[in-house]
Every structure is written in C-alpha cells, then in structure tokens.
C-alpha cells in the first residue's frame, strides 16, 4: 500500500513570475512546473526530518512530454531560423527528470512515464508494483503552447474539455518504509485501469492528464473505494484504506 502524505498542485497563475523570469530561460515550462511542485511538497513536510537524509524515488509522468519544445525546434528548422541546441536538449523525453535531479539532491532512482490521459494513473500503478522501501514522489506536468492547445482541442478530444497547463505532485510512503506508521493518511492499495466504452468524463473544469491525482486526492477525503472516468473512455478504479 502507499500512503499519500502530501499533495501539491500548480497552475500558470502560481508560476507566472518564474515563467517570466529571464534567469529561467534555459528551463522549459515543464521543468519550472515540476520543480515548483516538488519544492511545495518538501515545504509541507519540512518538519519531518527524515526527508533531509532519506533517499526518495521519483516518477515523473506527462501526457504530452516536451511537445511544445519539440514544436519550437522543428518550427525554427522549417523556417530556416537558428535551431538552438538548448531547445533540442529540452525537447528530449527525460529532460524534465534531469532538471528535477539537479533540484532534488536525494533522488535514489528516477523514471519518466508517458501514456496520454492516464499518465498519472500509470505512474501510480508502477509505484504500487515497486519493491522499493523509499518514499515515492510522483510528479505529473503538462504545459500547452497556444499551437499545441489548438491541435489537441481539434484532433484529440471529442468532448468539451478545458485544457490548461498544470502540475500535480504527491509523496507516497510504501508499507515497507520505516516511516509508514509515522503518518495518519489514506493508503492506496490498488488501482485498475479499464476501457469503459463510455463517453462520460469526470474532470475538474481545468483539465490536464495529471489532475487524475487531484481527483484521487479529493475522493480519498471521504471514500475508501471509488471510480471515475477519464478522457478517451478510460475508467479508473481505486481501492484504499482511509484512517
């Protein structure tokens, strides 16, 4: 089982100053969102000394990856403009995880996972299957440029979904961790991901793949077992123990 002991969400309005800061020009928006969410988690748990000296595992999940950076690179290439090496570097699938490894010094292992609208759910499934006793930090981030937002709305979502840029993060403590009993928190025991063939979707008014964590975080406040629907006809079923 995995206890969810801290949760964070970030929206563009929360990071506007960082996004506009010229000193951050070498970082993609994905990186800034992910680092901000991670820092928020550690700030929430700053009174727990174990995080200062304990290695953690990180799973970074994203539905779109660095698609906006890739688009920018190929746009410049097609227009005969300068193709900056930094843009290419930031377009790589694990570039955000690399930035996190520089910002979070005590990472034991890191994984990047991407599976569209259920990227967070797949990350949680991976964490539940892990045999590691380290706390697991799952961070999900998706940032849409104006062009990618236009393409996604036209070609991917048949239902009306309000896509926004955002990040969600959760710190999970596995049963095998010596810190498990230090926290009174809901513990997730299982996740099942099914194709439901339904067109109904549960989502917050502002949607992006990793706000599946936001749905789970809200539901865990009152329920031990629940299900909800995601875009592309996916149904998620969660089993948990709520103390």
pTM for this prediction = 0.85
pLDDT beyond 60 at 92: no
Give the per-residue pLDDT at 40.
94
- Per-chain mean pLDDT for the chain: 82
Q: How many beta carbons lie within 10 A of that of residue 124, not counting itself?
A: 28
| Burial class of residue 226 in the structure, from the number of CB atoms within 10 Å of its CB (0-12 exposed, 13-18 middle, 19+ buried) | middle
Residue 61 DSSP SS3? strand
Quote the CA–CA distance of 55 and 50 in Å, as a whole number: 9
3-state secondary structure of 90: helix
Q: Is the pLDDT of residue 159 over 80?
A: no
**Where in the chain are the domains?**
2-183
Q: Which of 100-109, 115-124, 199-208 has the lowest mean pLDDT?
A: 199-208
Alpha-carbon distance of 49 to 39, in angstroms, equals 15
- pLDDT band at residue 156, thresholds of 50, 70 and 90? low
Which residues is 58 bridged to in the sheet?
A: 110, 137
Q: What is the CATH number of domain 2-183?
A: 3.40.47.10
Residue 232 confidence (pLDDT): 76
């Amino acid at each position: 089982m995995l206890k969810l002991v801290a949760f964070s969400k970030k929206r563009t309005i929360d990071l506007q100053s960082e996004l506009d800061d010229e000193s951050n020009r070498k970082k993609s928006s994905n990186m800034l969102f992910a680092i901000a969410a991670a820092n928020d988690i550690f700030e929430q748990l700053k009174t727990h000394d174990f995080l200062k000296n304990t290695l953690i595992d990180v799973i970074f999940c994203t539905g779109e990856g660095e698609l906006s950076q890739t688009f920018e690179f190929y746009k410049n290439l097609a227009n005969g403009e300068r193709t900056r090496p930094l843009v290419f570097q930031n377009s790589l699938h694990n570039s955000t995880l690399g930035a996190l490894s520089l910002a979070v010094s005590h990472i034991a292992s890191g994984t990047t996972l991407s599976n569209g609208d259920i990227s967070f759910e797949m990350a949680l499934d991976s964490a539940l299957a892990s045999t590691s006793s380290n706390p697991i930090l799952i961070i999900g981030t998706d940032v849409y440029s104006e062009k990618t937002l236009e393409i996604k709305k036209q070609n991917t979502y048949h239902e009306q979904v309000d896509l926004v840029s955002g990040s969600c993060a959760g710190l999970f403590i596995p049963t095998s961790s010596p810190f498990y009993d230090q926290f009174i928190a809901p513990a997730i025991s299982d996740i099942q991901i099914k194709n439901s063939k339904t067109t109904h979707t549960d989502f917050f008014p502002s949607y992006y793949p990793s706000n599946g964590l936001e749905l789970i975080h809200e539901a865990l406040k009152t329920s031990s077992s629940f299900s909800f629907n995601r875009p592309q006809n996916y149904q998620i079923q969660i089993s948990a123990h709520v103390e």
